[in-house]
Structure 1
Amino acid sequence: MIRSVAHIAFNVKDIKKSLHFYCDILGLQMAFEMKDKNGNPWIYNVKVAEGQYLELIVGGVHEYSYKPGNVGFSHLSLEVEDINEIADNLRENGITIDVEPKLGRDMNYQCWAKDPDGNRIEFMQFSPSSPQVKGHW
């Protein structure tokens, strides 16, 4: 059956901006690139954790626009060691923090920002009392 999340895929408008954001700013590692049948750049796989990747797919043309309550993708959540460190790093790199670090209802620390294509990202620092750590609410 299901073992884990293998990847999340985003169509991206500008692969250089996306790779800069995910690799240079967030510190993730570019793992491998796949080319299309004509040898053109197609998919860039950025490693998040062992066996878990973000697939950045070249050629996105329509702007993404999140609307609360819409069916479908809402956000990507990335676990971090230190919520204030990631928030400071984002600010230092010119990334707007949409929600400043705070304690969420689930007892985890969180802050929010967007990637270059407008995808919402929640950065989350787990606390020992959180349901994600305990495995229940």
Structure 2
Amino acid sequence: MIKGLAHVALTVEDMEKSLHFYTDILGLKHAFQVKDDKGQPWIEYVQTGPRQFIELFHGGKNKHEPVDREIGVHHLCLRVEDVNLVADDLEAKGVSLDVKPKRGKGGNYQCWVRDPDGNKIEFLQPDADSPHMAD
């Protein structure tokens, strides 16, 4: 039935900043764009893996009000080979880490950042015996 995760969708305030972050900083590929019924940009797709994407929707307005446990997307998690190399690369590109590399409660190594809209992103380096590695 389910073949995998197709995409995670985020509404962003400044598409230029978001695309810069996901493509230039994280090194992902801007795959394609979908336009609305008026021919205007609507969604930008950034590819994270084979047939896996982050959808970035144009036109968000930042709430500027932090809320604990807001309903909706909590965070985006990207699996990586070496969390320390990722952290070093992000810091070299001027990205502040919210959480430096450490072993998380689930037993895997992780670090955390935020995208230009404040969305939390986890970089996960699973151990060989981690449930994240099961087929």
How far has the Cα of 1:70 moved from its partner? 3.7
The aligned length equals 135
TM-score normalised over the length of structure 1: 0.90
Distance 2:86 2:66 in 1: 23
**1:48-100 deviation line (CA, Å, top 9, x unaligned):** 11111101111001337664444332111100111011101111111110111
Measured on the aligned residues, the alpha-carbon RMSD in Å equals 1.7
Q: Residue type matched to 1:73 in 2?
A: V
Distance 1:62 1:106 in 2: 31
**1:92-124 deviation line (CA, Å, top 9, x unaligned):** 111110111001122211000100000001100
Distance 1:66 1:112 in 2: 18
Mapped pair 1:49 → 2:54 = no
Where structure 2 has 5 or more consecutive residues not aligned to the other structure, the ranges are none
Where structure 1 has 5 or more consecutive residues not aligned to the other structure, the ranges are none
Structure 1 counterpart of 2:96? 96
TM-score normalised over the length of structure 2: 0.91
Q: Cα 1:19–1:6, aligned 2, differ >3 Å: closer, same or farther? A: same
Does the CA contact (< 8 Å) of 1:35 and 1:41 recur in 2?
Answer: yes
After superposition, residues 1-137 of structure 1 pair within 5 angstroms as 1-63=1-63, 67-134=67-134
SS in 2 for 1:97: coil
Identity of aligned residues (%): 48
SS in 2 for 1:22: helix
SS in 2 for 1:110: strand
Does the CA contact (< 8 Å) of 1:10 and 1:56 recur in 2?
Answer: yes
